[in-house]
A and B are shown apart, each in its own frame.
Chain A
Amino acid sequence: MAVKTLTIDGKAISAREEQTILQAARENGISIPTLCQLNGTSDIGACRLCLVEVAGIPKLLPACVTRVGEGMEVSTDSERIREYRKMIVELLFAERNHVCAACVENGHCELQDLAISVGMDHSRYDYMNPKCAVDITHKRYGIDHNRCVLCGRCVRVCDEIEGAHTWDFQGRGANTRTISDMFVPWGQAASCTSCGKCVQACPTGAIFRRGSTVAEMQKDRTRLDFIVTAREKKQWIA
């Protein structure tokens, strides 16, 4: 096991060579905002919130998919990074119809928390007001595409932890939609085991338990941690 030494925000740290900047930062108590990252699933660098500066490289790099390197000088916080993170959150709000006041996840939402942490008080971008479907054909759960941020956590948790791969993406760019099976209503998706992992994985109110009304929804991510710990450490501990 080779060890790399590097600095993050001026702090000298050592990390295993297979670790990402995000993992190394977290192990050392340095917090980097994330949205698409979900422990126990693969990292895809989709949301770009974890962008960091690495000395000598002009572009910003996503910490969740960038491996640590010997002598790397990483900075997780600067005027430039803060501005980009705020921009990203504003774009996420402008891209779909995030009406916090009428959302099941209001008050428990990772997107809302991000808006607060990046200091967003309004979106500088025009709202796109896309027409988005709400699918409540599944007997226990629903998906409201108005609230989807395309983080892909449902896709990965379903494929990599449940092993069902009910969810995937259709289309490109702002027209991308999360679909179940070969674009059939969720209630008709034969591969869905109704395990509910996607409900817990979803950072916003996009995937919800039916019967939750405004602000009632609280995701229980410890259920996922339980399974991940069981798999990785063979320990069935709650």
Chain B
Amino acid sequence: MDRVRLATIWLGGCSGCHMSFLDLDEFLIDLADIVDVVYGPVVDPKEYPDNVDICLIEGAVCSDEHIHHVKNIRAKTKIVVAFGDCAVTGNVPAMRNPLGKVGSILQEIYCDRPDAQGQMPGEKGLMPVLIDTVVPVHQVIKVDAFLPGCPPPASRIKEFVQLALSGAELKLQGSGLKPG
């Protein structure tokens, strides 16, 4: 059997889902026998490769760079997974949405607060441009499966990965669906 090509990516999130993935502990050793991690923060190649079997996307879509990433991932990946509550719902990064457009939020944080330095960030082309409304991944691209949790507990990730490796339908049941 060909080795499974797994990718992970960290968008607008805290990396807690990746930390929870590392909590798989000795199961990681079993995984290493059958899976190649071809992209992600733990291996750090610069370009997302072609022909990825499964990609776990952590984090909400918050910037033009995130939009570019998820579209690129969709084009090169068989199974795209929204990994954790930020990817599934927007979660904590989306808490800025009701506060208004990005410009006014940045203005307040960087310029208007008493302790602010009085300078807006964002020399053109240097930083990704934040989008006005943070959205879950499935509002930008088609997502094949959802793995909720903040973070998803390691036991849930393990159950999900085992489903994926066995080719079963990627749908968690019962308490495996608990957000938060």
Residues in A lying within 8 Å of B, measured CB to CB:
93, 97, 99-103, 106-107, 112, 115-116, 119-123, 126-127, 129-132, 215
Contacts and interface: CB of A to CB of B under 8 A. Distances in A.
Interface in B128-173: 133, 135-136, 138-139, 143, 146, 148, 150, 171-173
Contacts of A97: 94-95, 97-98
Given A116-B178, A121-B148, A121-B172, 20 more contacts: A97-B94, A97-B98, A100-B179, A100-B180, A101-B85, A106-B180, A112-B178, A112-B179, A112-B180, A115-B178, A116-B174, A116-B175, A119-B177, A120-B177, A122-B82, A122-B88, A122-B136, A123-B89, A127-B97, A127-B136
B92 interface: yes
Closest CB pairs A-B (n = 9): A100-B180, A101-B150, A129-B97, A121-B146, A106-B180, A131-B98, A100-B179, A122-B146, A101-B180
B94 A129 contact: yes
A127 B139 CA distance: 10
B173 A119 contact: yes
A99 B94 CA distance: 9
Contacts of A132: 98
Contacts of A103: 180
Given A115-B179, A122-B138, A101 B92 contact: yes
Contacts of A120: 177
Q: How large is the interface on B (under 10, 10 to 19, 20 to 34, 35 or more residues)?
A: 20 to 34
A100 B148 CA distance: 11
Interface in B50-86: 82, 85
B171 to A, nearest CB: 7
Given A97-B98, A115-B177, A121-B177, A127 B172 contact: no
A154 B143 CA distance: 38
23 contacts: A93-B89, A97-B94, A99-B91, A99-B92, A100-B150, A100-B179, A101-B150, A107-B178, A112-B180, A120-B177, A121-B146, A121-B148, A121-B171, A121-B172, A121-B177, A122-B143, A123-B89, A127-B97, A127-B135, A129-B94, A129-B98, A131-B98, A132-B98
Interface of B: 82, 85, 88-92, 94-95, 97-99, 133, 135-136, 138-139, 143, 146, 148, 150, 171-175, 177-180
Nearest to A125: B139
B8 to A, nearest CB: 19
A129 B148 CA distance: 20
B80 to A, nearest CB: 13
Contacts of B171: 121
Contacts of B94: 97, 99, 127, 129
Contacts of A122: 82, 88-89, 136, 138, 143, 146, 148
A130 B138 CA distance: 20
A84 B53 CA distance: 34
B106 to A, nearest CB: 18
Contacts of A106: 180
B180 A121 contact: no
A127 B89 CA distance: 8
Contact of B90 (A116, A119, A127, A215): A127
A102 B93 CA distance: 11
Nearest to B99: A131
Contacts of B143: 122
B145 to A, nearest CB: 8
A160 B89 CA distance: 37
Contacts of B139: 126
